[in-house]
Structure formats: C-alpha cells, structure tokens
C-alpha cells in the first residue's frame, strides 16, 4: 500500500480510538478543563459536530459517536478495498 493509504487508515483508527475514549470519559465526573478531555474534544468535535446537526438525540442518549465510528470503519474498508 502507498504511504497515503496507510496514513488514511491509521488516521481513521486513531479517530475511532479518540471517539471511544471520549465516550467512555463522558461517563465519569471529570473536569472539562482536564487536558486529556480538552485534547479529545478538540480532536473529535470536528467529526461529531456535523453529525449532531443531522442525527437527533434519543432522549438523553447521543448516538453520534456510534455513527461516527461506523462511518470511519466504512471509510477504512473502502480505502482498503480500492487500494488493492
């Protein structure tokens, strides 16, 4: 695979990990000024914010991170498929 394809795949994996970490950290009473929380927010918000405008909340449940992870997995699969 070319460098560009590998970069895109690893970037998508890193974003999936960051989204999962952000979702898990949201379950705990951590200060929003915590450097880790700020870092994860800055990395994942450009992906999650546009999806939040499209996907409605289900009561108190925000399924946007789940949809974002699914979209990233589809991107990984498509890049891998077309790189062969």
Task: Give the DSSP H/E element, type plus range, for residue 71.
Answer: helix 64-83
Q: Is residue 5 part of a domain?
A: no
Q: Is residue 25 part of a domain?
A: yes
DSSP conformation letters of 14-65: HHHHHHHHHHHHTTS---TT-HHHHHHHHHHHHHHHHHHHHSPPBTTB--HH
17-63 pLDDT, tens digit each? 999 999 999 999 999 999 999 999 999 999 999 999 999 888 888 99
Q: Is residue 10 part of a domain?
A: no
How many independent structural domains does the chain possess? 1
Structural domain span for residue 57? 18-83
Q: Is residue 12 part of a domain?
A: no
Q: Tell me, what's the pLDDT at 74?
A: 97
Q: Structure tokens of 34? A: 């915590």
Q: Is residue 6 part of a domain?
A: no
Q: Is residue 9 part of a domain?
A: no
Q: Tell me, what's the pLDDT at 53?
A: 94
Q: Is residue 1 part of a domain?
A: no
């Amino acid at each position: 695979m070319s460098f560009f394809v590998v970069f895109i795949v690893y970037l998508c994996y890193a974003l999936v990990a960051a989204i999962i970490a952000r979702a898990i950290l949201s379950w705990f009473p951590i200060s929003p000024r915590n450097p880790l929380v700020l870092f994860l927010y800055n990395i994942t918000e450009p992906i999650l914010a546009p999806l939040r405008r499209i996907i409605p909340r289900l009561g108190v449940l925000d399924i946007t991170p789940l949809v974002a992870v699914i979209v990233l997995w589809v991107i990984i699969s498509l890049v891998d498929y077309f790189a062969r």
